[in-house]
Amino acid sequence: MKRITALLHAHRMSVHALEAAGERRLSVVQARGLLRASSAREQDYSVELGERVTQEIQLDVFCEDERVDAIVALIRQHGRTGQVNAGWIFTSSIDDVLLIDRADVPA
């Protein structure tokens, strides 16, 4: 199993595209980071960081190994901004998947 993490502009990725592709194990977190903003509306000033930051999302998708290429392609397709730095995609291996309420059943 794999975890795909994408850091992208907040209004670029549609989770509906992933859902239509059959992906249900995903998470979206609102974030602020240092991507180059595509408009002034995406930016605000962070007192904590002492600089302008861009509204981003962190998208995590958990999938079977054979689905990684298709999901990465979908994220790239929907995450494009036309800029050189539109975001990042990371993949990592998951060793175990456990259900919270059923220790006797593998997920």
Classify 13 as helix, strand or coil. coil
Mean of all residue pLDDT scores within the chain? 85
Confidence of residue 106 (pLDDT cuts 50, 70, 90): low
Helix segments in 55-107, DSSP class H:
68-79
H helix or E strand, kind and range, residue 20? helix 15-20
58-85 residue pLDDT tens? 999 999 999 999 999 999 998 888 777 7
